[in-house]
Amino acid sequence: MILPIITYPNKQLKVRSSEVTSFNESLHCFLDDMFETMISSNGIGLAAIQVANPIRALILCIPDDEGNQTKENLLEIINPSIHNPKGSTLYQEGCLSVPGFYEDVERYESLTLHYQNRHGDPCVLEASELLAIAIQHEIDHLDGKLFIEKLTYNRRKKFEKEYKKAQKEKK
């Protein structure tokens, strides 16, 4: 089932999501719906809060060398924490909750991620490049933060102007 995606400036996106404690059938169905929703919207990452569920769960599916996004390279990340962040890098980010806007954001270059999978098993992952960036972007969602909040004052003003204009044109 494809779920509706909440977009800025909906206040729900500012909610801090809660730890997942039950790794049951309903969580598994929800994660499957998140995958279907993300793929149908041409996304590479989606946090549960973006589909109105305030739980600490996110999915990532970085396209392979042929540009394919299969369930084999799907990561389902629950109750994550970042360890040993290193370096810094700039990347032009976008977000399914901020459609049509992209801007450079500074992130750690590499990190170690501790998380649980859909069964509640503890997992550890070393991440760098786009995966490390995507992890940080999605974990920010779990803490109620959007990438546009990391822009400088002037870039943020540019965003507000462009975004409002685009929304008017949509109506």
- The least distance separating Co ion from the CB of residue 22, rounded to whole angstroms, comes to 25
Stretch that binds ligand QAP, among 75-83, 89-97, 108-116, 150-158 (CB under 6 A): 89-97
Does 93 interact with ligand QAP (rule: CB under 6 A)? yes
Task: Tell me, by CB under 6 A, how many residues bind ligand QAP.
Answer: 16
Closer CB to Co ion, 9 or 120, in the complex: 9
Does 80 interact with ligand QAP (rule: CB under 6 A)? no
- The least distance separating ligand QAP from the CB of residue 75, rounded to whole angstroms, comes to 12
Q: Residue 142's closest CA among 163, 113, 120, 110? A: 113
162 is catalytic: no
Does 34 interact with ligand QAP (rule: CB under 6 A)? no
Does 88 interact with ligand QAP (rule: CB under 6 A)? no
Give the Cα separation of 29 and 18 in Å (integer). Answer: 18
**Residue 116 one-letter amino acid:** Q
Look-up of token digits 């109105």: 52
Greatest alpha-carbon pair distance for the chain in Å reads 47
Residues 76-95 that bind Co ion (CB under 5 A): 95
Does 78 interact with ligand QAP (rule: CB under 6 A)? no
Q: Is the N-terminal amide bond of 9 cis, ω within 30° of 0?
A: yes
Look-up of token digits 């270059």: 109
Does 42 interact with ligand QAP (rule: CB under 6 A)? yes
CA-to-CA separations, 126 to 80, 118, 131, in angstroms, rounded? 13, 19, 9
Concatenated DSSP letters of 118-167: TT--EEEEEEEHHHHHHHHHHHHHHTT--GGGGS-HHHHHHHHHHHHHHH
Does 137 interact with ligand QAP (rule: CB under 6 A)? yes
Active site residues: 138
The residues that touch ligand QAP, with contacts defined as CB under 6 A, are 41-45, 91, 93-96, 99-100, 130, 133-134, 137
